[in-house]
Amino acid sequence: MRGMKRLELTVLSRDVDAVIEFLGCHSLIHLSDDEDYSLTRPPDEAAVRRIKKSLNNLSTAAAWLEVPLPAEPEESSRLPGEAEAALAETIIKDVSALRAQENEQRDEKLKVEDALNEARAFANLNAPFSDLDQLSYLALRVGRLDPRRQEELRKNLSDRAVIVPLGADSGRVLAAASRKGRFALDTELKKLDFVPIEVPEGYKGIPAELLSGLECRLEAVVKKLEDIGRQREALREEHRDNIQSLAAAYLMAGIVEQLKARLVATKNVFFLSGWVPADAIRFLLKELEQLTEGIIAVRSYDPEELDRVKEGKEKVPVSLKHSAFVKGFEGVVFSYGAPLYGTIDPTPLVAFFFTILFGIMFGDLGQGLILLLLGILTSKRGAAFLSKFRKYSTPLVAVGISSMVMGFLNGSVFTNEKILEGPTRALTAFLTGRPMDRILVLMPLPEHGGSITKLFYFFAFTVGIGVLLISAGLIVNTLNQFIMKKYEKALFSRTGLSGILLFWYAIFIALRFAAAKVKPAVFTFDFYWFDIAGFVVPLAGMFMGPAIWRLVSGKRPVFEEGVIVYIMEGFVEILETVSTYISNTVSFLRVGAFALSHAVLSYIVFRFSEEVSAVSAGTAFSVLILVFGNTVIILLEGLIVTIQVLRLQYYEFFGKFFTETGVEFSPFRFHKAASMDQ
């Protein structure tokens, strides 16, 4: 467990952004939550608006370009400066201009398509052209207009009409508007000296020039949109990284402004306080001094120097420092709770017992190899698409190896019981002079060399593992209570020294019974006085200890709730202690039970595949059964075994000493997925 120091920083306003950026990027300080908010400075509204505006504009540009944006700052992100602001403005301007062109062309395409569809519908209508002015959509005007003024007409009419040049004569145009826009069309045409062309009387249908003109116009618009699409693709390739890095930078800037609004501040300085690992203090102070050119005030405190800590109003955050193997199991500990600062770190014990228990219940060389390979694939050097599972890499490697060892002992490879017979016989013959098909036999079958007696021995072994785990929890709790100077609990509680002595002596008696194989009467006679002392001393400690402690420490009354209540509570405590230790110990029979169930299921899969292989096309069916059976075992039993191991850790181990949890070291950082190993 890393030592911690409380650090108080007084920083000039000009340097606070740079200091916060450094702290957030290096993940070194666990900020305190005891600031006096009455002394905080109002947030810089102008800066907040500027950041929000930039983020919104970048988000709009990214959405149009189909560029994914980060949800949080990246590890390489830095606060935006003038250069970043200028780059963002340029990108947003370019995207907005191209987007406006696309919208304009899409509107034009829609208008032309509507006009063309209705014109085609009436192309073969046997009615005078003059009557087509009454169509539901089109109001048609044919005439001459100075080519230099045609573009002006388009701008003036905007989306209210379509202007189509007719034929090679660029002065002839056809204007089509909706029924609602006919008056605006006529008004604009009149302003620009539009000269109508008389359509021959009796001319029927839609003029061919109108259809061809609309088709040409539609083709031109489509080509323009395709060109805009190519420009958008080029813009995306050119600015993808820039947009993402700029968005991350402005996200960082937003976080900085939020934090500044929480800090105690005056007009010229900001005050930050928090917990820093003691081994990082020198590096932190050196970097901050360079960053602020030496203009920074720093004060540091040990936890025992702070009244808030001594009074229990604030808990010192806990940061653990382990080897790669043990570190992989920190998640198991923190999923239950953080240990108190200064107490014993249980993670190494968790790593050891988790690995052993899983291997016992999931023994198969081939299936363990699959877990090992998954652990390698999810490691830092593994497959990139599995990076989100990186925190499970070390546990997978550990339990994979332990499962492979157990699988070698019981001779199972992907449920196959014959592959390892040769190597096992050679090894056992070399070591013992007596060849055996398998070293460990779980199935109580005579043909396997197994028996009920051997199975009972295996169950006794798993209970022995449980006794070690329970004892470790009791020892950790007793030492923690001494460390925290809670001597009464350390000496007289059921999870303290008295509880340890009672539990160990009960185990000692059980071992004597099992080893001596004598009648209880003879056994009791041989150890009569010794057994009385072994039970009475710890029970008396639990029963009378609290009263004795109050008497010695000068607390009055000695029996706080009265003698009767004290006696009743004492008896209940003893009964609960005895029943708890019995249930805790017996609970580890489940380890043997799951190991046996794994062996039975593997036996069924292997025998079934062996029987099927004898029929026609049996080899293919045998392989399918083996693949399906092993897949089910790995997924289903792997999950069940994991749950059982966690249950044993939580209830039989953590429950002995996790009576009070601490606070996990959670440093201020921009990139939430960043490693805390720094």
State the pLDDT at residue 376. 93
Tokens coding 196: 């109508």
Residue 469, judged by CB atoms within 10 A of its CB (0-12, 13-18, 19+), counts as: buried
- The answer to whether 206 and 197 have CB atoms below 8 angstroms apart is no
| Strands, E assignment, 303-391 | 317-318
Tokens coding 478: 């007793």
- The answer to whether 55 and 250 have CB atoms below 8 angstroms apart is yes
Domain final residue pick, 558, 586, 614:
586
Q: Which residue has the tokens 């073969």?
A: 124
Q: CA-to-CA distance for 475 and 589, rounded, in angstroms?
A: 22
Residues in the chain: 678
Q: Which amino acid is at 506?
A: A
CATH number at residue 220: 3.30.70.2750
State the pLDDT at residue 516. 67
- The answer to whether 676 and 353 have CB atoms below 8 angstroms apart is no
Does residue 666 sit within a domain? no
Same domain flag for 464 and 598? yes
State the pLDDT at residue 202. 47
Same domain flag for 198 and 239? no
Same domain flag for 365 and 467? yes
Q: What percentage of the chain's residues is helix, strand, coil (to nearest 5)?
A: 65, 10, 25
Give one DSSP letter per residue of 174-221, joined into a string.
EEEE-STTHHHHHHHHHHTT-EE-PPPTT-BS--HHHHHHHHHHHHHH
HSE-CB of 59 using CA atoms within 13 angstroms:
10
Average pLDDT over residues 239-267: 90
Tokens coding 413: 């490879």
Average pLDDT over residues 79-98: 92
State the pLDDT at residue 125. 44
Q: Which percentage of the chain shows pLDDT scores above 70?
A: 88
Same domain flag for 455 and 597? yes
Q: Would the pLDDT of 250 be above 90?
A: yes
Does residue 340 sit within a domain? no
State the pLDDT at residue 450. 65
Q: Would the pLDDT of 440 be above 60?
A: yes
- Comparing CA positions, the residue from 452, 447, 422, 451 lying closest to residue 437 is 422
Q: CA-to-CA distance for 149 and 132, rounded, in angstroms?
A: 27
Q: Which residue has the tokens 């830095």?
A: 78
- Comparing CA positions, the residue from 20, 39, 36 lying closest to residue 28 is 20
Instruction: Please state the domain count of the chain.
Output: 4
What's the pLDDT tens digit per position in 466-510?
999 999 999 999 999 999 889 999 999 989 999 999 999 999 888
- The answer to whether 202 and 160 have CB atoms below 8 angstroms apart is no
What's the pLDDT tens digit per position in 288-329?
999 999 899 999 999 989 888 888 888 999 999 889 899 999
What's the pLDDT tens digit per position in 54-77?
999 999 999 999 999 988 888 888
The secondary element (H helix, E strand) that includes residue 172 is strand 172-177
CA 99 to the chain's CA centroid: 37
| pTM score | 0.76
Residue 174, judged by CB atoms within 10 A of its CB (0-12, 13-18, 19+), counts as: buried
Same domain flag for 602 and 467? yes
Same domain flag for 466 and 603? yes
The secondary element (H helix, E strand) that includes residue 264 is strand 264-265
What domain range includes position 491? 486-586
Does residue 671 sit within a domain? no
- The answer to whether 111 and 54 have CB atoms below 8 angstroms apart is no
What's the pLDDT tens digit per position in 381-397?
888 888 888 889 999 99
Same domain flag for 270 and 410? no
Does residue 332 sit within a domain? no
Same domain flag for 440 and 505? no
Residue 161, judged by CB atoms within 10 A of its CB (0-12, 13-18, 19+), counts as: buried
Same domain flag for 209 and 257? no
DSSP, collapsed to helix, strand or coil, labels residue 115 as helix
More confident residue, 443 or 333: 333
Average pLDDT over residues 541-553: 87
Q: Would the pLDDT of 47 be above 70?
A: yes
Average pLDDT over residues 255-260: 89
Average pLDDT over residues 154-165: 74
DSSP, collapsed to helix, strand or coil, labels residue 296 as strand
Q: Would the pLDDT of 354 be above 90?
A: yes
Alpha helices in 311-364 (DSSP H): 324-327, 330-336, 347-361
Backbone angles phi, psi at 10, to 5 degrees: -115, 115
Does residue 329 sit within a domain? no
What's the pLDDT tens digit per position in 633-676?
999 999 999 999 999 999 999 999 988 888 999 999 887 654 43
State the pLDDT at residue 549. 87
Same domain flag for 15 and 33? yes
More confident residue, 377 or 311: 377
Average pLDDT over residues 450-474: 89
From the CB of residue 125, how many other CB atoms can be counted at a distance below 10 Å? 14
Pairing of strands 4-12, 269-277: antiparallel
SS3 of 50-104 = HHHHHHHHHHHHHHHHCCCCCCCCCCCCCCCCHHHHHHHHHHHHHHHHHHHHHHH
- Comparing CA positions, the residue from 594, 581, 583, 598 lying closest to residue 542 is 581
Q: Is the peptide bond before 557 cis (omega within 30 degrees of 0)?
A: yes
Q: CA-to-CA distance for 129 and 203, rounded, in angstroms?
A: 6
Average pLDDT over residues 240-265: 90
Same domain flag for 621 and 519? no
State the pLDDT at residue 203. 45
Does residue 297 sit within a domain? yes
Does residue 97 sit within a domain? no
State the pLDDT at residue 88. 93
What's the pLDDT tens digit per position in 93-117?
999 999 999 998 888 888 778 777 7
Q: Would the pLDDT of 251 be above 80?
A: yes
DSSP, collapsed to helix, strand or coil, labels residue 8 as strand
Q: Would the pLDDT of 268 be above 70?
A: yes
Same domain flag for 511 and 573? yes
- The answer to whether 428 and 436 have CB atoms below 8 angstroms apart is yes
Average pLDDT over residues 21-49: 77
Tokens coding 546: 């609290």
